[in-house]
Amino acid sequence: MIKQRMAALAGAVVASAIVLARAPDDMDTTLLKQAQALFKPLPRDMAEPGSALTPERVALGRALFFDPRVSLDGTVSCARCHQPALYGTDGLATSIGVKDRANPRNAPTVLNAALQFVEHWRGDRSSVEDQATKALTGPPSFGLPDNAAAVAKLEALGYRPQFAAAFPGAANPVTAENWGKAIGAFERTLVTPAPFDAYLQGQGLALGPAAKSGLRKFIDAGCTTCHNGVGVGGGSYQKFGLLKDYWQATGSRQPDKGRFDVTHDAADTYVFKVPSLRNVAMTPPYFHDGSVATLPEAVRVMADVQLGRKLTDADVRDIVAFLDSLTGALPNQFASAPVLAAAAFAPAKQ
């Protein structure tokens, strides 16, 4: 009888050990399935359906992206606000354009930007191509008086052969529209696969325990209502400050009405595009006005004003660990600037 009881006890201990050994795996499997339902890995590039990112067009776009001589005063290129060393941002609360003119909002990273359903915080640019084209005449961007002035500068800088190669068959390849298409083609190659992408593809060890805990908390808290999909955001609009005025938490000096200034619809007051969280750990300061300097504080603000939650220090650490897993390596074609053809800057006629 005693031997039978000992055997039964030993069997129970072994069974319990098996359950305990399997529990983390089961939890990991459940978490992975949840994540795969909410998010998608990055594609190899962000080409539009039916379009090809030709080497000639991408090379032209890369040169134009880094060339400041096209701007009104010769100081502004796309790279001024989207610096490789700062993961496609400029590290400023709000960017500075030609003649030191202040932009009204923070410059988001250009990395993976083409994945988003619109561009700019207020969604007033439909694509990366549209954003690049309109930047030419934006007063706090390139500041040129009109597209004709932009074309004249591009011609003077000797870009015609590159435009002709990038847009074969075009009677007049050097246009503002083609400028935008070329820069858009380059930006569509700026994809940054991260450990989280490997995790979504089934590599469970790609995330450590803290990142997995943070992912679980990120999902359970309701963050994925807005931050989902391939961009972990960037796919919808949302009011900033659902549960309390956002500036109470951010300390913003001046409330920004957001999309209301574009649509003049009262329902769009304080509505902004939900930002993508890819590479977010590398792109402070945060929010449309750069009002929050650190990622842990930004996480606390979002939990407070959007979800009505007060996170513990442990919660914040874990969620930040998950957000760290969204950081990918800089693409080679972005990590350094190209050598541009020699040509002098010439002021635009005003």
Domain of 277: which CATH number?
1.10.760.10
Residue 346 CA to residue 350 CA, distance in Å, equals 12
Mark whether 184 and 209 lie in a shared domain: no
Among the candidates 170, 191, 212, a domain finishes at: 191
Q: Which tens digits make up the pLDDT trace of 274-331?
A: 999 999 999 999 999 999 999 999 999 999 999 999 999 999 999 999 999 999 999 9
Would residue 140 count as lying in a domain?
Answer: yes
Mark whether 182 and 293 lie in a shared domain: no
Mark whether 84 and 169 lie in a shared domain: yes
Mark whether 126 and 252 lie in a shared domain: no
Q: Which residues contact 314 (CB under 8 A, 6 or more apart)?
A: none
- pLDDT-derived band at 24, boundaries 50, 70, 90: low
User: How far is Cα of residue 200 from the mean position of the Cα atoms in its chain?
Assistant: 19
Residues 312 and 264 sit within 8 Å (Cβ to Cβ): no
- pLDDT-derived band at 20, boundaries 50, 70, 90: very low
Would residue 332 count as lying in a domain?
Answer: no
Q: Does the pLDDT of residue 3 top 70, yes or no?
A: no
Mark whether 80 and 123 lie in a shared domain: yes
Residue 136 CA to residue 118 CA, distance in Å, equals 18
- What is the span of the domain harbouring residue 182? 55-191
Q: Which tens digits make up the pLDDT trace of 126-179?
A: 999 999 999 999 999 999 999 999 999 999 999 999 999 999 999 999 999 999
Number of domains in the chain: 2
- pLDDT-derived band at 350, boundaries 50, 70, 90: low
Q: For residues 30-58, give the mean pLDDT.
A: 93
Q: Determine the pLDDT at residue 49.
A: 81
Mark whether 220 and 120 lie in a shared domain: no
Query: Alpha helices of 124-175 — where are they, by DSSP H?
Result: 128-135, 147-156, 160-166
Mark whether 166 and 197 lie in a shared domain: no
Q: Which tens digits make up the pLDDT trace of 305-315?
A: 999 999 999 99
Would residue 35 count as lying in a domain?
Answer: no
Among the candidates 191, 219, 239, a domain finishes at: 191
Would residue 42 count as lying in a domain?
Answer: no
Would residue 254 count as lying in a domain?
Answer: yes
Residue 240 CA to residue 98 CA, distance in Å, equals 30
Q: Determine the pLDDT at residue 103.
A: 95
Q: Which tens digits make up the pLDDT trace of 51-65?
A: 779 999 999 999 999
Task: Burial-class residue 263 by CB neighbours within 10 Å (0-12, 13-18, 19+).
Answer: middle
State the average pLDDT for the chain: 93
Is the C-alpha dihedral spanning 246, 248, 251, 256 positive or negative? positive
Residues 258 and 122 sit within 8 Å (Cβ to Cβ): yes
Would residue 314 count as lying in a domain?
Answer: yes
Share of the chain above pLDDT 70, in %: 93
Mark whether 202 and 184 lie in a shared domain: no
User: From start to end of the chain, where are the E strands?
Assistant: 237-239, 271-273
Q: Does the pLDDT of residue 39 top 50, yes or no?
A: yes
pTM above 0.85, yes or no: yes
Q: Determine the pLDDT at residue 10.
A: 44
Share of the chain above pLDDT 90, in %: 88
Residue 163 CA to residue 54 CA, distance in Å, equals 12
Q: Does the pLDDT of residue 226 top 50, yes or no?
A: yes
Q: Determine the pLDDT at residue 18.
A: 36
Query: How many degrees, rounded to 5, is the angle at CA 19 between CA 14 and CA 23?
Result: 150
Mark whether 173 and 209 lie in a shared domain: no
Would residue 31 count as lying in a domain?
Answer: no
Mark whether 220 and 96 lie in a shared domain: no
Mark whether 131 and 74 lie in a shared domain: yes
The structure tokens 């915080």 sit at: 121
Would residue 19 count as lying in a domain?
Answer: no
Residue 192 CA to residue 338 CA, distance in Å, equals 20
Mark whether 79 and 128 lie in a shared domain: yes
Q: Residue type at 157?
A: L
Three-state DSSP class for residue 96 = strand
Which residues, listed in sequence order, are joined to residue 60 by a DSSP beta bridge? none
Among the candidates 136, 157, 191, a domain finishes at: 191
